[in-house]
Structure 1
Amino acid sequence: MSNPELPETSSPTHPQDYTAPDRSFYTWSNFFKVLLAGAPEERQKYLAVRDELREEKDCKRCESFRDWAFKRSPVVRFLRDEINKIGPDLGPQHVRCKRCVHGTKGSTSGGFSPDYGILLCANELVNKKRLEDTLAHEMVHAYDHVRFKTDPENLRHAACMEIRASMLSGECRFMREFFGRGQYKITSQFQDCVRRRATLSVRARRHCEDDVQAATAVNQVWESCFNDTRPFDEIYR
């Protein structure tokens, strides 16, 4: 929990054997081909080429949104203040924007490491609200790391961290679930979102064996962690 692995990112400098992306593959015709009938591997190739070609632009946009969040976002500013009360300051200088290359366990939009700070995946965060939610999620992880001595190999710790981060960051608000993720349930929508996202995050951990182990870890700590809203007085939505 205290030291989750960060997503793999692109190298800041290309090695000598680096092969430039095939621009001919990143075309509107290929986009519609992938969108309508493309195989999963074609889609992955298309997105990889797109992300590499747009890396500089995406990182600049991400850095601009990051700086806006630290100046204007109530939840980000509150979490920064609360972390500063119990540990070192966590500011924009500790948050890096990089292109993320996703592994076989799915995509991600950010990560936290006590050694390196927060990583935001510039190619995934296309608007201010999504970056704000992701940054708040990772800052809850940072708060928990400072507040507790956690074991990164302990799935119960990881599950508690993910439950609290999904619950407190605002990423499970009804409107985002309804319009952004196609989740149309009204009853227990918030709890279902937190549980689903926490389970997916635990499953993505390197030391988690399967879906059953991830769900079991979340169930074991659900009651206590879902009811722990610190440092907020109540759930921020």
Structure 2
Amino acid sequence: MAESVNSESKPAQPTPSADQVQPDENFYNWSTFFTILSGQASKEDQQKYFRARDLVNEESDIKRVEKQRDWLFQNSPVIRFLRDEINKLGGDINPMNVRIRRCTTSQGGGIDQDYGILICANYMRNQGHVEDTIAHEMVHAYDYMRFKVDRWNLRHQACTEIRASTLSGECRFTREFFTRGQWRFTQQMQECVRRRATLSLMARPSVKDDVHAARIVNEVWDSCFNDTRPFDEIYR
């Protein structure tokens, strides 16, 4: 999710099933794959290849991530804890409202206050990635219920993005080092959270550019990064 960015104001969009759209066989082949691998493919050809791949693998991707989702709701400490905390506020996030679909937007997932969580199966690398993504969206769900977040207030949105990236585990050192090539030790987590919160804000129409997004993140940084509720401290 490209690295995914989670955005409540611009949720990831599911697409028609694979039997409704046929993949372009001219691009989903070994020749195109090795052209991409060697850096010779155009951006357009890369997009066509990955779109065709996602169509071919749609059913198996969804089944894989649904199985991982169900296991995590039974066994993941962070998912179980966040579900309990959301229940205390009168809500519920469960496998029935965490829907798994193929998406065309470059996001791992999104949340809608009316419909629940959407996880994009074609962007999920492994079970750890699924866990981080669900946890991220569940922090958003907690914030919307606990703090009455205004979806149109950019400071509110920056704050919940900071908290979601901090508390979900997606910015822990091992995730940054092994999956994103971020090798700096000093302030690594803080830099990851700032980067991801800024990228998420940039997806909102009312944000002018990266400078505007970074300024909003900086304005709320201290209070939001240090607010670990419902955890006693940063979980991982």
Does the pair score TM above 0.5? yes
Distance, in Å, in 2 between the alignment partners of 1:2 and 1:185 is: 26
1:38/1:68 Cα in 2 relative to 1: closer, same or farther (>3 Å)?
A: same
Residue 4 of structure 1 is aligned with which of 1, 9, 12?
9
Cα shift readout 1:135-181 (whole Å, capped 9, x = no counterpart): 00000000001112222111111100100000000001111111111
Q: Does the aligned pair in 2 maintain the 1:2–1:151 contact within 8 Å?
A: no
Distance, in Å, in 2 between the alignment partners of 1:13 and 1:34 is: 23
Distance, in Å, in 2 between the alignment partners of 1:50 and 1:148 is: 40
Unpaired runs of 5+ in structure 2?
A: 1-5
Residue 25 of structure 2 is aligned with which of 15, 23, 34?
23
The one-letter code sitting in structure 1 at the alignment partner of 2:114 is D
- Within-5 A mapping of 1:32-47: 32-36=34-38, 37-47=40-50
Distance, in Å, in 2 between the alignment partners of 1:12 and 1:183 is: 35
Unpaired runs of 5+ in structure 1?
A: none
Sequence identity (%): 59
Distance, in Å, in 1 between the alignment partners of 2:21 and 2:162 is: 40
2:156 maps to 1:157: yes
Distance, in Å, in 2 between the alignment partners of 1:147 and 1:211 is: 29
1:192/1:94 Cα in 2 relative to 1: closer, same or farther (>3 Å)?
A: same
Aligned to 2:209: 210
Aligned to 1:182: 181
Aligned to 1:134: 133
Task: Tell me by how many angstroms 1:6 deviates.
Answer: 1.2
Residue 57 of structure 2 is aligned with which of 54, 64, 68?
54
Q: Normalising by structure 1, what TM-score?
A: 0.93
- Within-5 A mapping of 1:54-73: 54-73=57-76
- Within-5 A mapping of 1:91-170: 91-102=94-105, 107-170=106-169
Cα shift readout 1:186-229 (whole Å, capped 9, x = no counterpart): 11111111111111111122332211111111011001000100
2:86 maps to 1:87: no
Cα shift readout 1:79-138 (whole Å, capped 9, x = no counterpart): 000000012221111100000102xxxx21010110110000000112100000000000
Distance, in Å, in 1 between the alignment partners of 2:7 and 2:18 is: 29
1:23 aligns to what SS in structure 2? coil
The one-letter code sitting in structure 2 at the alignment partner of 1:42 is D
Distance, in Å, in 1 between the alignment partners of 2:206 and 2:15 is: 23
Task: Tell me by how many angstroms 1:51 deviates.
Answer: 0.4
Worse-matched range after superposition: 31-40 or 163-172 = 31-40
Q: How many residues align?
A: 230
2:76 maps to 1:77: no
Q: Does the aligned pair in 1 maintain the 2:24–2:48 contact within 8 Å?
A: no
The one-letter code sitting in structure 2 at the alignment partner of 1:61 is R
The one-letter code sitting in structure 2 at the alignment partner of 1:87 is G
- Taking only aligned residues, the RMSD between alpha carbons, in angstroms, comes to 1.7
Task: Tell me by how many angstroms 1:23 deviates.
Answer: 2.3
Cα shift readout 1:23-43 (whole Å, capped 9, x = no counterpart): 242111110112211111111
Q: Normalising by structure 2, what TM-score?
A: 0.93
